Chain A
């Protein structure tokens, strides 16, 4: 029995619902040396700023229980280098190209969107208004519903294809932020970015990360992410992309059942670069096992049992 794994989110067509998360795939070149990245539903690039950034000084990462902290600090090649050197490479592959952008001002976000609008092979942009690791921008926009809406509204006017708003879990009420970006014209919502955390070296009595705080990701955050996806799915009508500790097929299925139309694989890429491929195969096997043939039929189909 053949199964249909393709999904469409606000005009963004994906051959399967499995994407790689921003910052966990660089710009695709490294993974392409391991397997054919055309098998992926799509890739999300590292967040781009207008000028190249070195990011925070080392140490930038710390392993935690079933998770990790990172304070990379948005290191990236900058928009012009991306367009000249990285985008032509990604465009050779038959997979959706989603470009993540991060600005320190609304104007910077807008200029990034304008520049990317010129390139038809950028299928969508994901607006990172949720990076917990930078002093300005990032979470400053994502933590306040009015600021988040303003950024999205400005980008929406400048970019003719789907705009994805990536939300932070480090907020009082994620439903309010979700409603604000949806009302401001976001076509899709993706969530969650990392949770703010830290870690201390008890012998040196200093923080493990140069930035003190880092973003927690990996299997440890998955239940938090899943709850937030479900909450947001109850209050917005636009499609959702689930992110947060997804490593296996069953993890991915939980998010689809909770209401996500697609998912992103992040930290699991570091542990097993083929994790997205295993999930794609696993989703097909799950449908066959349940005598179903369309992945769209299970999206949001979680029920509430009577106890």
Chain B
């Protein structure tokens, strides 16, 4: 079940210069959301921008029926979102996408989150620990471009995980990119969970292959609908056995980031 309605903003807080956290009340979305899923938020009531914007779910509180997102002001949609006040109502559709399966067993894992990629990985980390996965087996790389736009509201540090904070310019945590940090940490015993910009994911995908291990990548995409009806967010993937016949002999299969993803297996995406 997916829910589409106007929901109330219950809290707004600023995390860094251009990064905000917004909390919404929707017991339905909150109860059914799983880590890695997202919501489509209509940031304006006019047609600028026309499409809703996708935001990963950061956290849920089943007691209050609230869920939150963290976002950075990027364009006109996120600017309008940042202007919302507590008690405002806004149109939201969700929860959407396949999401991650919670981490089970005790094999070590590495979370690699760049900017907007951090919230869904926090959600996955926190819920997996809740279900009994050992926190000490999780390395979490939290990357920002610069201190001004970091996504860290302090909660990652409370999870008892091995936290690696970095920024491209060295102004926040270690100096270097998420990919640089991952290069140091990764070996063939560790599974990677990554989310962030396409450029970062592309590099991580080849790093996973080079280090001979496995991983799950959660992709960003602009999506007109977010729930599978328009096919506008389709990306090229390696054809699987389930492809069936088509009218041509293309060497790729299109999958919708919104419905078939946003989480894909490492090695599945054909990068541009």
Which residues of A are at the interface with B, using a C-beta cutoff of 8 A? 23-26, 30-31, 33-35, 49, 51-55, 57-58, 60-61, 63-68, 70, 72, 75, 78, 81, 218-220, 267, 269-274
Q: Is the CB of B231 within 8 A of A60?
A: yes
Contact with A along B6-18 (1 / 0, CB 8 A): 0000000000000
Check A54 against B253 for contact (C-beta < 8 Å).
Answer: yes
From the candidates A52, A75, A267, A273, name the one contacting B93 in the complex (CB within 8 A). A273
Q: Does B91 contact A (CB under 8 A)?
A: yes
Contact B222 A63 (CB under 8 A): yes
B250, A34: Cβ atoms closer than 8 Å = no
Q: Which 5 A-B pairs have the closest CB atoms?
A: A61-B232, A66-B47, A270-B225, A51-B247, A270-B224
Across the interface, B231 reaches (CB within 8 A) one of A55, A63, A78, A219, namely A55
Option from A31, A52, A64, A75 in Cβ contact (under 8 Å) with B229: A31
Q: CB-nearest residue of chain B relative to A28?
A: B229
Given A63-B222, A65-B48, A72-B230: A52 in contact with B244 (beta carbons within 8 A): yes
Q: Which of B47, B236, B253 neighbours the largest number of chain A CB atoms within 10 Å of its CB?
A: B47
- Check if B232 sits within 8 Å of A60, measured CB to CB: yes
Q: How far is the CA of A25 from the CA of B228 in the complex (A)?
A: 9
Stretch among B49-57, B59-67, B178-186 lining the A interface? B49-57
A63 and B52 CA atoms in complex are apart in Å by 11
Interfacial chain B residues near A34, Cβ < 8 Å: 1-4, 93, 227
B236 touches A58 (CB 8 A): yes
- Which of the residues B51, B245, B253, B259 comes within 8 Å of A63, measured between beta carbons? B51
Bound-complex Cα distance A142 to B91 (A): 38
Complex contacts, A60 vs chain B, CB 8 Å: 231-232, 234
Task: Please determine whether B230 and A61 come into contact, CB atoms closer than 8 angstroms.
Answer: yes
Q: Given A60-B232, A271-B52, A272-B91, check contact A51 B47 (CB 8 Å).
A: no
Q: Decide if A72 touches B231 in the complex (CB within 8 Å).
A: yes
Write out the residue numbers on chain A whose beta carbons fall within 8 Å of the beta carbon of B3.
Answer: 34
User: Could you tell me the distance between the alpha carbons of A30 and B234 in the complex, rounded to whole angstroms?
Assistant: 16
Set A53, A54, A273: member contacting B227, Cβ < 8 A: A273
Q: How far is the CA of A65 from the CA of B47 in the complex (A)?
A: 8
A115 CA to B91 CA, complexed, in Å:
41
- Are B229 and A219 within 8 A (Cβ)? no
Of A25, A33, A65, A274, the contact of B1 (CB 8 Å cutoff): A33
Q: Which residues of A contact B42 (CB under 8 A)?
A: 271-272
Q: Which of B171-193 contact A (CB under 8 A)?
A: none
Please name the residue on chain B nearest to A65 by beta carbon. B48
A24 to B224, alpha carbons, bound, how many Å? Answer: 10
**Could you tell me the distance in whole angstroms from the C-beta of B183 to the nearest C-beta in chain A?**
29
Task: List chain A residues, Cβ under 8 A from B229.
Answer: 24-26, 30-31, 269-270, 273
Interface residue tally for chain B (C-beta within 8 Å): 39
Residues of A within 8 A of B222 (CB): 61, 63
Instruction: Give the residues from 25 to 54 in chain B that come closer than 8 angstroms, CB to CB, to chain A.
Output: 42, 47-52
Report the Cα distance A51→B91, complex, angstroms: 38
Point out which of B2, B50, B228 has the most chain A C-beta atoms below 10 A from its C-beta. Answer: B50
Chain A hits for B259, CB < 8 A: 30
Give residues of chain B (51-89) contacting chain A, Cβ–Cβ below 8 Å.
51-52
Give chain A's interface secondary structure class: loop
A23 neighbours in B (Cβ, 8 Å) = 230
Q: Given A25-B229, A75-B234, A272-B91, A54–B50 Cβ distance below 8 Å?
A: no
| Residue contact A67 to B50, C-beta cutoff 8 Å | yes
Nearest chain B CB to A256's CB is how many angstroms away? Answer: 22
When chains A and B are docked, how far (Å) is the Cα of A68 from the Cα of B254? 21
By beta carbon, the residue of chain A nearest B248 is A54
Closest to A61 in B: B232
CB distance from B117 to the nearest CB of A (A): 20
- Chain A contacts for B1, CB-based, 8 A: 33-34
When C-beta atoms are compared, the residue in chain B nearest to A218 turns out to be B50
Contact B254 A55 (CB under 8 A): yes
Task: For the complex, give the distance between the alpha carbons of A72 and B247 in Å.
Answer: 15
Residues of B within 8 A of A219 (CB): 47, 50
A33–B51 CA distance with the chains assembled, in angstroms: 20
Minimum CB–CB distance from A242 to chain B (whole Å) comes to 19
Could you write out 21 A-B pairs with CB less than 8 Å apart? A26-B228, A33-B1, A34-B1, A51-B247, A53-B247, A54-B246, A54-B250, A55-B254, A58-B235, A58-B254, A60-B231, A60-B232, A60-B234, A63-B222, A63-B224, A66-B50, A67-B50, A267-B224, A269-B225, A271-B52, A273-B229
A54 touches B254 (CB 8 A): yes
Question: Among B51, B93, B231, B245, which residue has the most Cβ atoms of chain A within 10 A?
Answer: B231
Q: Which of B209-242 contact A (CB under 8 A)?
A: 222, 224-236
Whole-angstrom CA separation of A75 from B250 in the bound complex: 13
Which chain A residue has the least Cβ–Cβ distance from B244?
Answer: A52
Known contacts A30-B259, A58-B254, A269-B225; is-contact A63 B49 (Cβ 8 Å): yes
**Partner of B50 from A53, A75, A271, A273 at Cβ < 8 Å:** A271
Cβ of A225 to closest chain B Cβ, rounded Å: 15
When A34-B2, A34-B93, A61-B232 are in contact, do A51 and B227 touch as well, CB less than 8 Å? no
Least CB distance from A153 to B in Å reads 26
